[in-house]
């Protein structure tokens, strides 16, 4: 058995709709089902989804504030006013700023741009920066990806004689700034149909309004970068903007984009949203996190190939430093989380803070902690000199972290963001109350079931449904991202043919799966340690994304596993291992890497108390000894006694002497999920043979011939061995049966055949029946294949269950 990491949910859809779409549009059944699962009901919906064009974008003048902003900017251009583009330091902000620079250059404007330093200044507009802009002659400020909460700062700018046009996409606060124009589709009074634009998307709309929709296609590359990096939904307008931006990016006109793609490992061909999300976005973000976002803006607006290459290398190095820093802070943060005793059933918000932590990476740390604990997380960097705390929040579905911060707003100097991610600042003296207030709010707003991580699949299918033509059709659903994830397929009952670790240090997992006559390879990244929990021929359920693996001119379907489980108890074959104790400890180590309580839920099984030196090697693992009366008992007085129902992994170092011990052992270890066979092999000659009437007749005839008088049993057994193919152990048990049936008598180590034995059938002997069961058990456990062993154990496991 192997538990899934997530609770699995399958989309509900009308199967007939999927079948009809597939028939009408000549699509694969898989494609039809996925479209239906995503709410696509007719051919027109499919056409809009798969073939969106720029002409379908909404009119930018529908966005509130646009009617005021456009003439004011044109006035500034006509009168030669100095314009300040005020941006943000993340990838969306850098992309927005870069797009506005392109716009200002095209309009031949007198302009400059400003992005605050993340750790020295923090998010948003700053009065000191506005003062300096005024001194440089700025009279018009256009914000991008920021400004919707800057009430005080915009009031200052207005008093100083500077008009401010805000373009933003963050959640508007209750009190809005008195700007010259507010452009934000999320404003409650804004009639714009689509609310999911990124900051760069709003900036693009302003450019479209100013240029009468004659926006250069290559600018869509910047829209794609910011939209993907800021995790905006790839639906509606964003889908069109990003899809066209990615197409342009594959032959980019921007030297900086080309240089970034190359350093991120792009090998040519189409650029995917995944390559932007995991290749470009982290490097762009690294500039603002580790240095200054101006570095990313300079790269994205660079016109010289050589300088662009150098700037891309610098961002790549910053990203590597960022990765190391994240791991260091994460380790410290997890120590804090571990020190706080948490009730796993109780809703709570995790709050950790540390002096000297880099404020630029605390959001990444928060995401990693959320992934581990599945709780809303806030990570704060404390300035040891001022006590100022700046941090980032990440939340789980259904818990609006922006609203939670609003409930604590009297403790905060500043905050802003979205339901799933936010930023804030406060003084360290408020940290205790801040955490308490957040958790009181969570208790009111969050239900326990929200704390169970879940994963949704689009459809349930078989391996046979995942064909190359079907996958080629699925590629039309790209670009993938928030709001339009890559389709996830649920597959049940695939037979595991092979499981291998791969990659550096065995970090990843490769599986070969069979279902009916279909063989398919599956890869699970970052889950190499699961190999120790997957047995030969296990029946595997999985949720996976499907793609096409191309290698040396060959193309075939491949699964990228997102989660998997084995719903039955598994048996693992390590019989005859030369160093069983070393193998046992290796397996325990592997289990420990995927479940924290591996050692506490394991048991080692032997048929006699272990020697002290062996017990020392087992590192205090609980050792159990077969017991004919109760099944098994824990060996000695362990410092850490384990209840048998807590045992999940059973390591069998020795087989029992009697089958009843095996049956009763299984009855006390009721929670078993895995059995590891580590017992030694014995020769075929040593294995007990299934008893039969002919075998007993043969032995009895030899006894009559060899025992005309009383004979010491020690002399008799070698004579019988020499005249039969039976082992001494088998012969001793045959003699036990004869004694029970009164065919022979034993006294003082000597044996005599009874001249007139009573005629009792062999089957009336309990020892005969026990010998039959023991022989069957040994034949199976010593020489059977794992499927045969599992099948043999199943009836006993079902009785236990």
d(CA 716, CA 391): 85
- Greater confidence (11 vs 127) lies with 127
Q: Can you tell me the distance from the alpha carbon of 92 to that of 95, in angstroms, rounded to the nearest whole number?
A: 5
State the pLDDT at residue 599: 64
Mean pLDDT, rounded, for 270-290: 95
Q: In b/e form, how buried is each residue of 263-276, taking b as 16+ CB within 10 angstroms? A: bbebeeeebbbebb
pTM of the complete model: 0.82
Residue 555 near residue 571, CB atoms below 8 Å: no
Integer CA distances (angstroms), 390 to 117, 321, 346, in order: 13, 21, 27
* pLDDT at residue 144 is higher than 50: yes
Choose from 197-211, 360-374, 562-576, 760-774 the range with maximum mean pLDDT: 197-211
**pLDDT for position 660:** 82
Backbone φ and ψ for 488, nearest 5 degrees, come out as -110, 130
| pLDDT > 70 fraction of the chain, expressed in percent and rounded | 96
Q: Which one, of 688, 136, 354, 487, lies nearest residue 114 by Cα?
A: 136
Angle between helix 29-37 and helix 15-25 axes, rounded to 10 deg: 130
Residue range 693-782 in CATH 1.10.10: yes
Q: Check if CATH label 1.10.10.10 holds for domain 340-449.
A: no
Distance, in Å, from the CA atom of 198 to the CA atom of 201, rounded to the nearest integer, reads 5
pLDDT of the residue at 638: 53
Q: Which of 619-623, 715-719, 759-763 has the lowest mean pLDDT?
A: 619-623
Per-residue pLDDT, averaged over 706-732, amounts to 90
- Determine the average pLDDT of the residues in 185-211: 97
Would you say residue 492 has pLDDT above 90? yes
CATH, domain range 55-318 = 3.90.1640.30
Closest Cα partner for 458 from 76, 31, 131? 31
Q: Predicted confidence band at 368 (pLDDT cuts at 50, 70, 90)?
A: very high
Tokens of 306: 């050589």
Mean pLDDT of 760-783: 90
- Summarize the confidence of residues 745-750 as an average pLDDT: 91
Q: Which range is least confidently modeled, 159-168, 305-314, 342-351?
A: 342-351
Q: What is the pLDDT of residue 518?
A: 95
In this structure, of 165-179, 417-431, 625-639, the range with the lowest mean pLDDT score is 625-639
CA distance 590 to 752: 57
Q: Is beta strand 181-183 parallel, antiparallel or unpaired with respect to 163-167?
A: parallel
Give φ, ψ of 653 to 5 degrees.
-90, -25
Q: What is the mean pLDDT of the chain?
A: 91
| C-alpha–C-alpha distance, residues 353 and 238, integer Å | 36
pLDDT score for 716? 93
Q: Contact 225/232 with Cβ under 8 angstroms?
A: no
Check whether 800 has a pLDDT greater than 50: no
C-alpha to C-alpha distance for 594 and 485, rounded to whole angstroms: 26
Token pair, residue 666, equals 């299984």
Could you tell me where in the chain the CATH 2.40.50.460 domains are found? 7-11+458-565
Sequence-separated (6 or more) residues with CB below 8 Å from residue 150: 124, 125, 143, 166, 177
Integer Cα distance of 275 and 295 in angstroms: 21
Q: CA–CA separation, 97 vs 294, rounded Å?
A: 10
pLDDT higher than threshold 50 for residue 621:
yes
Specify the 3-state DSSP secondary structure of 453: coil
CB 376 within 8 A of CB 396: yes
Phi-psi region of 28 (alpha: psi -120 to 50; beta: other; left: phi over 0): beta
Q: Is 740 exposed, middle or buried (0-12, 13-18, 19+ CB in 10 A)?
A: middle
Q: Is pLDDT at 598 greater than 80 in this prediction?
A: no
> Which pLDDT does position 801 carry in this prediction?
44
User: How many whole angstroms separate alpha carbon 354 and alpha carbon 333?
Assistant: 8
Q: What confidence tier does 628 reach under pLDDT thresholds 50, 70, 90?
A: confident
Selection from 740, 660, 727 nearest residue 688 by Cα: 727
The pLDDT-based confidence of 614 (bands split at 50, 70, 90) is confident
| 347 — pLDDT class (breaks 50, 70, 90) | low
The architecture of the domain spanning 7-11+458-565 is Beta Barrel (2.40)
**Which range has highest mean pLDDT (213-227, 568-582, 606-620)?**
213-227
CATH 3.10.310.30 residue ranges for the chain: 340-449
Q: Assess whether the previous peptide bond of 566 is cis (omega < 30° from 0).
A: no
Q: Give ranges for CATH 1.10.10 in the chain.
A: 693-782
Q: Is the per-residue pLDDT at 748 higher than 60? A: yes
Instruction: Give the mean model confidence (pLDDT) for residues 45-51.
Output: 87
Q: What angle (nearest 5°) sits at the alpha carbon of residue 720, between those of residues 716 and 725?
A: 155
User: Under 8 Å CB-to-CB from 475, ≥6 apart: which residues?
Assistant: none
Question: CA 315 to CA 320: how far, in whole Å?
Answer: 9
Closest CA to 373 of 398, 349, 403: 349
Q: How far apart are CA 609 and CA 634, in angstroms?
A: 9
Name the CA radius of gyration of the chain, rounded.
36
pLDDT value for 592:
79
- 9, two tokens: 């949910």
């Amino acid at each position: 058995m192997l538990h899934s990491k997530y609770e699995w949910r399958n989309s509900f859809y009308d199967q007939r709709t999927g079948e009809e779409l597939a028939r009408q549009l000549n699509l694969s059944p898989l494609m039809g089902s996925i479209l239906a699962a995503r709410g696509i009901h007719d051919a027109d919906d499919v056409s809009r989804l798969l073939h969106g064009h720029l002409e379908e974008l909404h009119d930018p003048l529908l966005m509130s504030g646009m009617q005021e902003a456009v003439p004011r900017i044109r006035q500034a251009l006509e009168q030669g006013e100095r314009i300040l583009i005020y941006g943000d330091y993340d990838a969306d902000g850098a992309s927005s700023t870069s797009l506005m620079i392109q716009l200002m250059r095209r309009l031949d404007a007198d302009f400059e741009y400003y992005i605050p330093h993340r750790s020295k200044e923090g998010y948003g507009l700053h009065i000191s920066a506005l003062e300096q802009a005024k001194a440089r002659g700025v009279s018009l400020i256009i914000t991008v990806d920021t400004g919707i909460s800057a009430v005080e700062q915009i009031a200052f700018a207005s008093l100083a004689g500077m008009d401010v046009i805000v373009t933003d996409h963050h959640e508007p606060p209750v009190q809005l700034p008195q700007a010259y124009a507010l452009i934000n589709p999320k404003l409650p009074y804004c009639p714009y149909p689509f609310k999911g634009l990124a900051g760069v998307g709003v900036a693009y709309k302003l450019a479209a309004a100013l240029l009468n929709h004659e926006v250069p296609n290559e600018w869509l590359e910047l829209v794609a970068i910011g939209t993907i990096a800021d995790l905006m939904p790839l639906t509606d307008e964003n889908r069109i903007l990003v899809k066209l931006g990615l197409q342009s990016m594959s032959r980019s006109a921007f030297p900086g984009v080309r240089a970034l793609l190359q350093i991120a490992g792009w090998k040519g061909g189409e650029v995917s949203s995944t390559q932007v999300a995991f290749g470009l976005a982290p490097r762009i973000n690294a500039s603002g996190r580790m240095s200054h976002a101006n570095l990313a803006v300079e790269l994205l607006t660079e016109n010289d190939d050589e300088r662009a290459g150098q700037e891309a290398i610098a961002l790549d190095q910053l990203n590597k430093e960022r990765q190391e820093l994240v791991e260091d802070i994460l380790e410290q943060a997890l120590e804090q989380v571990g020190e706080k005793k948490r009730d796993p059933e109780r809703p709570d918000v995790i709050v950790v803070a540390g002096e000297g932590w880099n404020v630029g990476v605390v959001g990444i740390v928060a995401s990693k902690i959320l992934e581990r604990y599945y709780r809303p997380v806030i990570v704060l960097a404390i300035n040891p000199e001022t006590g100022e705390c700046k941090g980032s929040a990440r939340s789980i579905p259904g818990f609006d972290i922006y609203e939670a911060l609003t409930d604590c707003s009297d403790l905060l100097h500043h905050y802003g963001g979205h339901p799933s991610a936010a930023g804030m600042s406060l003084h360290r003296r408020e940290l205790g109350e801040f955490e308490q207030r957040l958790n009181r709010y969570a208790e009111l707003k969050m239900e326990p079931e929200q704390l169970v991580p879940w994963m949704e699949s689009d459809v349930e299918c078989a391996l046979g449904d995942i064909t190359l033509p079907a996958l080629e059709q699925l590629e039309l659903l790209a670009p993938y991202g928030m709001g339009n994830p890559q389709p996830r397929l649920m597959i049940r009952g695939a037979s595991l043919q092979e499981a291998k670790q791969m990659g550096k240090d065995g970090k990843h997992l490769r599986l070969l799966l069979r279902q009916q006559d279909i063989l398919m390879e599956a890869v699970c990244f970052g889950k190499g340690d699961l190999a120790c929990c997957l047995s030969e021929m296990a029946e595997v359920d999985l949720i996976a994304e499907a793609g096409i693996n191309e290698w040396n001119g060959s193309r075939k379907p491949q699964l990228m596993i997102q989660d998997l489980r084995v719903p039955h108890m598994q048996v693992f074959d390590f019989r005859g291992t030369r160093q069983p104790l070393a193998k046992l400890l290796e397996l325990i180590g592997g289990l420990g890497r995927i479940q924290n309580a591996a050692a506490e839920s394991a048991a080692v099984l032997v048929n006699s108390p272990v020697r002290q030196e062996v017990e020392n090697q087992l590192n205090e693992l609980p050792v159990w000894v077969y017991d004919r009366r109760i099944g098994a008992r824990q060996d000695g007085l362990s410092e850490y006694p384990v209840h048998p129902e807590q045992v999940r992994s059973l390591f069998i170092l020795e087989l029992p002497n009697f089958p009843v011990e095996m049956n009763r052992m299984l009855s006390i270890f009721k929670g078993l999920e895995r059995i590891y066979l580590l017992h030694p092999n014995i020769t075929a000659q040593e294995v007990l043979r299934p008893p039969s009437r002919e075998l007993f007749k043969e032995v009895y005839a030899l006894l009559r011939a060899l025992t005309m008088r009383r004979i010491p049993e020690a002399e008799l057994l070698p004579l019988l061995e020499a005249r039969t193919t039976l082992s001494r152990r088998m012969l001793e048990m045959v003699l036990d049966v004869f004694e029970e049936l009164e065919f022979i008598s034993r006294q003082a180590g000597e044996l005599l055949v009874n001249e007139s034995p009573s005629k009792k059938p062999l089957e009336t002997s309990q020892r005969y029946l026990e010998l039959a069961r023991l022989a069957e058990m040994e034949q199976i456990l010593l020489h059977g294949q794992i499927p045969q062993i599992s099948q043999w154990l199943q009836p006993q496991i079902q009785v236990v269950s």
